[in-house]
């Protein structure tokens, strides 16, 4: 599979702050690449370096097999991007916005082509309406339409669902999936909405404090046989003591928010339930959880909020 993006040892230093610290990752053709991290993790800084909006302190970025520092114009001609909220002209219509940005990109599409572009992002019926009458979700879809107007191979979206209502979020999610599957577009999508990335991403990168923590196929990271189980008992201290002295000791992850956290194969849950009863642990609840959010909390600095107990 062709590699579209290759980032090697990328770093960005702002005076005493290291925003990105020797970050390396790759994006393959056809990926919907989920770029995850807490606020301040370095996602937006990394994306801005990929778009040459800021200059790296160190490291290398290759896109389409070319060095970004040497082939900037050639590379950017084949990239579409929306950084946070799209910059559109609210007193112009959706059609006029699209036509204007097309001309700025050096292309002169026909009205039919522009209408097809608006149809693709679900705005054909509102083509002649002024953007000031649009919802935020519609503006976001128009921004993606503008990013696509020159038919780029790579589309970079930085927090594309920020400030959207549930319907707007669903619209953006469905649009990304449609473009990925039907038009074979490659996406890099940064977001703090883990449930959304879980539904669209083929590969995932998680960074924390500018450093890569994990990268891989979403299906592999979210191994369905490995499940997080959260226990609530009448006496967690007693329960932890019993579990630490049992065959479950190496599966106990710790304790957070009055909940004991255990990681195990989901097929072991019935056996765990039986052993809890035999250890006379009075159970209030046993809740299996398995999602990108749970995985994210395991590998990011969210783990700082998990208190581990020892005998």
Helices 136-148 and 94-104 pack at an angle, to 10 degrees, of: 30
Residues 6+ apart with CB under 8 A from 86: 139, 140, 142, 143, 144, 146, 147
pLDDT digits (tens, 9 = 90+) for 59-82: 999 999 999 999 999 999 999 999
Which carries the bigger pLDDT value, residue 68 or residue 228?
68
CATH topology of domain 3-219: Rossmann fold (3.40.50)
CATH topology of domain 226-305: Alpha-Beta Plaits (3.30.70)
Task: Please compute the mean of the pLDDT values over residues 4-26 and round it to a whole number.
Answer: 95
Between CA 297 and CA 234 the distance in angstroms is 25
pLDDT digits (tens, 9 = 90+) for 242-279: 999 999 999 888 776 688 888 888 788 889 989 999 99
The pTM is what? 0.76
Between CA 160 and CA 180 the distance in angstroms is 15
- Please give the pLDDT value at position 292: 65
Confidence at 295, pLDDT banded by 50, 70, 90: low
| Res. 164: pLDDT tops 80 | yes
| Res. 309: pLDDT tops 50 | no
Measuring CA to CA, how many Å separate 41 from each of 9, 22, 35, 46, 96? Answer: 16, 13, 11, 10, 37
Structure token pair of residue 269:
């849950």
pLDDT digits (tens, 9 = 90+) for 185-202: 999 999 877 777 878 999
CB 30 within 8 A of CB 180: yes
In the chain, where the domains are located: 3-219, 226-305
Mean pLDDT of the chain: 87
CB 142 within 8 A of CB 134: yes
């Amino acid at each position: 599979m062709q590699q579209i993006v290759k980032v090697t040892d990328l770093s960005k230093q702002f005076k005493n702050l290291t925003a990105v610290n020797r970050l390396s990752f790759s994006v393959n053709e056809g990926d919907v690449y989920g770029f995850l991290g807490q606020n301040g993790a370095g996602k937006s800084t990394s994306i801005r370096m990929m778009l040459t909006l800021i200059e790296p302190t160190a490291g290398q970025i290759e896109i389409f097999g070319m060095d970004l520092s040497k082939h900037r114009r050639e590379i950017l001609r084949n990239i579409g991007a929306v950084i946070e909220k799209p910059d559109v002209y609210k007193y112009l219509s959706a059609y006029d916005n699209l036509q204007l940005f097309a001309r700025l990109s050096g292309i002169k599409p026909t009205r039919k082509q522009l209408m097809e572009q608006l149809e693709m992002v679900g705005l054909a019926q509102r083509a002649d309406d002024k953007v000031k009458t649009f919802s935020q979700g519609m503006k976001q879809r128009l921004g993606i339409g503008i990013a696509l107007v020159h038919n780029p191979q790579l589309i970079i979206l930085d927090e594309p669902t920020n400030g959207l209502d549930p319907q707007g979020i669903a619209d953006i999610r469905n649009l990304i999936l449609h473009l990925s599957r039907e038009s074979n577009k490659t996406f890099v999508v940064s977001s703090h909405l883990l449930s959304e990335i879980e539904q669209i991403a083929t590969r995932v990168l998680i960074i924390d404090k500018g450093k890569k923590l994990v990268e891989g196929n979403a299906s592999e990271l979210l191994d369905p046989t490995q499940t997080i189980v959260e226990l609530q008992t009448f006496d967690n201290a007693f329960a932890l003591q019993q579990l630490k002295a049992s065959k479950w000791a190496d599966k106990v992850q710790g304790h957070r928010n009055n909940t004991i956290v255990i990681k195990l194969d989901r097929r072991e849950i019935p056996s765990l339930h039986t052993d809890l009863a035999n250890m006379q642990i009075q159970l209030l609840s046993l809740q299996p959880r398995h999602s990108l959010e749970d995985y994210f909390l395991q590998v990011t600095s969210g783990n700082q909020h998990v208190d581990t107990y020892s005998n």
